[in-house]
Amino acid sequence: MPQLVVLPHGELCPDGAVIDAPAGKSVCDVLLENGIEIEHACEKSCACTTCHVIVREGFEQLADATDDEEDLLDKAWGLEPTSRLSCQAIVPAEGEYVIEIPKYTINHAKENH
């Protein structure tokens, strides 16, 4: 079974985590199902950047991002060449994937309240 290694994040996952991840699920769903409350303001519809993650290892094994995802990623805080929207990155059948959740997100709905 594939594994997600989540690097420590001060608020969402202070100690980091190693998660057995079912193939075919989005990285976002795997994180949420394992108690890592990553933001997903658009309810995982590829309409925002709040679920942005950086894939530190295993990026090449993920399916390519769609044009819509690429366009949104251009607006993400802390964009890197291996950035993905976790709601769009689907866990492949095997492998280990090291994920970093950026320190900040851009959430216009939250910021305007």
Domains of the chain: which residue ranges? 3-99
Residues of 53-70 as b/e, b for ≥16 C-beta within 10 angstroms?
bbbeebbeebeebeeebe
Express each pLDDT in 46-82 by its tens digit: 999 999 999 999 999 999 999 999 999 999 999 999 9
- Report percent pLDDT > 70 for the chain: 94
Task: Evaluate if residue 26 carries a pLDDT over 90.
Answer: yes
Task: Evaluate if residue 109 carries a pLDDT over 90.
Answer: no
Supply the pLDDT for residue 96. Answer: 97
Class at the top of the CATH hierarchy for domain 3-99: alpha beta
Q: pTM here?
A: 0.91
